[in-house]
Amino acid sequence: MHVPHSTKFGKKVKIIQPGEYHVSSEDEMIGTMLGSCVSVCLYDPVVKVSGMNHFMLPGRIVQSDMFNDKSARYGVTAITELLMLMEKHGAERKNIRAKVFGGGNVIPAMRGTNSIPFDNVRLACLMLEIEDIPIDEMAVGGSNARKIIMEVATGTVFMKTITRSDVIEKIKDQESSYVRGRLDVA
């Protein structure tokens, strides 16, 4: 996790990478960059606790993934771990609100198919529905990457669509590597 100080917002910004998550009640921001990945942002307005994850693959519901992988690499684990950490910070599920971002189809070979981005978004929505957590905002799909920054104290998420080709290429390369790793494992 990278922690720069934002001159624009006047506070720390904890930048999470693919496979990571962070929960906080401090006066800070949490941010990430998304392509086909999805980020679920959670906020409890009563205790002012916020959390964000960044997952690249929906996940397989097999014992080796569910119980051995505590990273946020798989959406199934990422959402479960994020919810548990929110509760450890005092959040109550009945108060938690969600926002879902990402799932852009940035890898051209996967466009037009039932692909990882679609499955990532579908999994996020399904798990939040099962947990009875309302989704207040969604910015998903399309063919663009996104940069999001969440203000912990308010749960507000600022989003910028990424159009710089060098940044999009870096995200594509990173995600293609993950896809190849997933295909080798499956």
Question: Order of strands, edge to edge, in the sheet holding 135-140?
Answer: 20-24, 49-54, 38-44, 97-102, 135-140
Q: How many domains does the chain have?
A: 1
Q: Are 144 and 96 in contact (CB under 8 A)?
A: no
Query: What are the tens digits of pLDDT across the range 123-142?
Result: 999 999 999 999 999 999 98
Please identify every stretch of the chain with a pLDDT value under 70, giving residue numbers as ranges.
1-7, 60-72, 107-114, 164-186
pTM recorded for the entire structure: 0.83
The range of the structural domain enclosing residue 119 comes to 5-185
Which CATH number goes with the domain that contains 40?
3.30.1330.200
